[in-house]
Amino acid sequence: MTQETNPETNPGTDQESNPLFRHFERLYWIEFPLFIRDMVFDDDERKVLVFVDYNRKTTFPCSCGRQGLKIHDRIIREWRALDIGSYQTIIHLAVPRTKCPDCGVRQIKVGWSREHSHFTYLMEERILLLTQYMPLSNVARFLNVSERRVRKVLERFQGGARPPSRERAGPGPVPGIEAGADAKAGDPPPKGAGGRRRKD
């Protein structure tokens, strides 16, 4: 689970080589400059590990709008996504952090999840939907997640907060990251892609 790829020795060479990964990037809202480097099927744990990566030369924007910040350091994070068949799906990324002169050290935003969440948007949406029909403990058991994390999702979206499906209507660029000349053909345009997400 703590495996980390080493792009310094293999900078982006897989990026164009596996068409299946490109399809899964669309399914999971993994967007340029991030890409799937590897997917590992763990039959013992019944899990699919999706390893997301980026070219180490990539610069990122700060959420304040300042562009072109180099990577300060990285924090390994994992997100639970919707299952593939009977296998749990875990998205894994050593999240780059930038050091902005105005804002300090901050994680970049990712397209598949809100800040501080252990789940993807689609997984949170599933949790919210199921809790309308069954007790929280049953939702946790059904999805094989902890009750504490189910409760945190409920607390986050109660009180009139919009559910994730309305914050993010579909695939689109990560806000604040300019898709440059390397952006994949067929990427949707930056504007009108379902609105911007709230800032946590």
For residue 107, the minimal CB distance to Zn ion (Å) is: 12
For residue 167, the minimal CB distance to Zn ion (Å) is: 22
For residue 196, the minimal CB distance to Zn ion (Å) is: 17
**Could you say whether residue 143 binds Zn ion (CB under 5 A)?**
no
Helix, strand, coil shares, percent, the chain, to 5 = 20, 25, 55
For residue 95, the minimal CB distance to Zn ion (Å) is: 16
The three-state secondary structure class of 51 is strand
For Zn ion, the closer of residues 98 and 120 by Cβ is 98
Which residues make Cβ contacts (< 8 Å) with residue 103, sequence separation at least 6? 62, 63, 64, 66
The three-state secondary structure class of 142 is helix
Residue burial 152-185, b: 16+ Cβ < 10 Å; e: rest = bbeebbeeeeebbbebbeebbbbebbebeeeeee
Identify residues 78-117 at the interface with Zn ion (CB under 5 A).
100, 102-103
Exposed, middle or buried by CB within 10 Å (0-12, 13-18, 19+), for 11? middle
Binding mask 46-85 for Zn ion (x = CB under 5 A): ----------------x-x-x-------------------
Identify residues 157-186 at the interface with Zn ion (CB under 5 A).
none
For Zn ion, the closer of residues 40 and 103 by Cβ is 103
For Zn ion, the closer of residues 44 and 102 by Cβ is 102
For residue 100, the minimal CB distance to Zn ion (Å) is: 3
Token couple for 194:
């379902």
The footprint of Zn ion on this chain (CB under 5 A) covers a number of residues equal to 6
Amino acid at 168: R
For Zn ion, the closer of residues 104 and 170 by Cβ is 104
For Zn ion, the closer of residues 64 and 169 by Cβ is 64
C-alpha angle with apex 34: 62 to 107, nearest 5 degrees? Answer: 30
For Zn ion, the closer of residues 97 and 168 by Cβ is 97
Return residues touching Zn ion (CB under 5 A).
62, 64, 66, 100, 102-103
